[in-house]
Amino acid sequence: MQKELLNKKDIDRIISRIAHEIIEKNKGIDDLCLVGIQRGGVHLAKRLSEKIKDIEGSSIPVGTLDITLYRDDINIKKPHPIVRRTEIPFDITDKKVVLVDDVLFTGRSIRAALDALMDIGRPSQIQLAVLVDRGHRELPIRADYVGKNIPTARAENIEVLLQEDGLKDSVIIESR
């Protein structure tokens, strides 16, 4: 069974709100950069950066991060998952990095992302922005910016569909 939880309008509003929150919390955009986690986070980070540019008039650097090589389940998953590109064409040392992901669930991908970032540089601060927080954390991790809290059952599946992938913007919950 499928149900739409967020539509295009909702997602637009969330991006807009989080962009404002990021600027407010950091008192501007000095030393700020965005890093989207492959794959869903990448598109969201780009949208956030455009929104921030609209508001502040100047843009901030955006990178993409692939966490595959840092996962804790890599040796359980067979075959080994596809390694995608990490492209952070700027120095993150002493920068405030906002990690962007689509769904926050167990927290394990964020743990992997933190380790991956630390190998690339030494940011002064790392913050976390997610479109959906669905609960069921297995690690002590929380997001600084949350689009929507959605209580779920473990067996349920949350799908974030984005128009960058040729789909209609929406967030869907599936019960199995």
Binding site for another protein (CB under 8 A): 66, 68-70, 74-75, 77-80, 82-87, 115, 119-120
Based on C-alpha coordinates, what's the Rg of the chain?
16
Pairing of strands 125-133, 96-104: parallel
CB closer to another protein, 86 vs 152: 86
Q: Report how far Cα 39 is from the mean position of its chain's Cα atoms.
A: 9
As measured in angstroms, the least distance from the Cβ of 107 to another protein is 18
Q: Compute the distance between CA of residue 122 and CA of residue 19 in angstroms, rounded to an integer.
A: 24
Q: Compute the distance between CA of residue 110 and CA of residue 146 in angstroms, rounded to an integer.
A: 14
CB closer to another protein, 112 vs 131: 112
As measured in angstroms, the least distance from the Cβ of 69 to another protein is 4
As measured in angstroms, the least distance from the Cβ of 66 to another protein is 7
CB closer to another protein, 40 vs 63: 63
